[in-house]
Amino acid sequence: KRLIVKQFLATKNVTIIKHPPYSPDLAPADFMLFPKLKVALKGERFKDVESIQKNVATIFLRSISRERFRVCMNDLLCM
């Protein structure tokens, strides 16, 4: 299976980035999203899970521009 995946990625010109199999410090969500989310929601109180989800989806995630996301992902790849 590994060879099949490597061949497929090669045909699609996908660059493989080597890193440890489990490295939370390199996970995109941990790199950019969760730290910003923690700051944005600090001190907020929610009555239920639905209100948390609504707040995150409507306010926080939509506030991140595509360009900002692209820059963060580029920074992650260049670490």
Question: In the predicted model, is pLDDT for residue 11 greater than 90?
Answer: yes
Domain ranges (residues) in the chain: 21-76
pLDDT band at 19 (very low <50, low <70, confident <90, very high): low
Compute the distance between CA of residue 15 and CA of residue 2 in angstroms, rounded to an integer: 16
Closest CA to 74 of 38, 12, 28: 28
* pLDDT at 55 (0 to 100): 82
Most confident of 56-60, 65-69, 71-75: 65-69
Compute the distance between CA of residue 27 and CA of residue 8 in angstroms, rounded to an integer: 23
Burial annotation 42-70 (CB, 10 A radius, 16+ → b, else e)? eeeeeeeeeeeeeebeeeeeeeeeeeeee
Mean pLDDT for the chain overall: 79
